[in-house]
Amino acid sequence: MTSFTTSYGELDGVEFRTLYSNGKTDGCLVSKENLLLTPYGNLVPLYESEDMGRRTAKPLYFYKSGAIKSVALQSKTMLETPVGPVPAELVTFHESGSIKRIFPLDGKLSGFWTAKNEYELAETISINAPIGTLTAKFIGLQFYEGGALKSLTLWPGELITVLTPAGEFRVRTGMSFHEDGSLKSLEPAGVVRVETPVGIITAYDNDPQGIHGDLNSLEFNPDGTIRALKTTAEEFSVIDQLGDEHRFAPGLKNNPCGAERKVVVPLKVRFSGGRIVFEEHQHSFLLAQCQIRVLPFDRKASNPGYSCAS
């Protein structure tokens, strides 16, 4: 066992370390109680665990510079953050030392410990987000290096109601913010209608694949206008400057419960630099040089079904 100095204090009882090529520590285990004094609170790295739900990975990781990258905590600790007090079992840092991510729970999912077990342990937290106070069970919070809230991730099944530049929406999965505090993206919990440069479009992702709130299907510019969205309800007719028509519509795929039932694959539409962009089709058009009609998508399909009971 050995010890070494970090920017937040001395670590004793170091049992194992992995070294970068420059000789600095990548990560280590500690066998005794240590106290790290940070601007966000006093942290005790995990040194023993009898909790079958806790991870068994190294509790401390470092950047090549030697700065602390992440700390798994011995017990849930209340941290003072830019959005108010937040309980944490795992915290990560930017290399500069400012807080990067907070996880109220640091769970280990397995055949014995499930997401349901984790959700039952999760506590409801209130944070001071740029759009107001938000209260929910959060999987994690992410911050910009300067301290502004970057994103928040909700537990599956959690919903919050927020006021956006496009109206009041119910949100699932999570949401993200520009560094100036303006809303960057969110995942609508239901169908919403938003104003875009080509008119009102129904925005909804019927099968979001994201597991965190950093990236979502409805995106905003800092001025509150729509940057991008996914739709399952509309298709687009584009007449280009040569008079040729191009059609873009949501796709269809087989339902997991049987090929006889189809599932709609959302169409992603982006507005950037005076253009409309259909990303999956790798086509874009200058809005000033084309005519665009937004038409109902005549789908003969259902939403994804993961319970195949009749």
Q: What are phi and psi of 16, to 5 degrees?
A: -150, 140
Confidence of residue 260 (pLDDT cuts 50, 70, 90): low
In terms of C-beta density within 10 A (0-12 exposed, 13-18 middle, 19 or more buried), how is residue 13 classed? middle
Decide: 2 and 19 in contact? Cβ < 8 Å.
no
| DSSP class per residue in 121-175 | H---EEEEETTEEEEE-EEEEEE-TTS-EEEEEEPTT--EEEEETTEEEEEEEEE
SS3 content of the chain, % helix, strand, coil (to 5): 5, 55, 40
**Does 129 or 281 have the greater pLDDT score?**
129
- pLDDT of 21 over the 90 cut: no
Instruction: Provide the residue ranges of all domains of the chain, joining segments of one domain with +.
Output: 1-157, 159-310
- For tokens 């990236």, name the residue: 215
- pLDDT of 301 over the 50 cut: no
Instruction: Give pLDDT tens digits for 97-118.
Output: 999 999 999 865 445 556 677 7
The rounded Cα 254 to chain-centroid distance in angstroms is 27
Instruction: Give pLDDT tens digits for 211-239.
Output: 667 889 999 999 999 999 999 999 999 99
The whole-angstrom separation of Cα 10 and Cα 196 is: 55
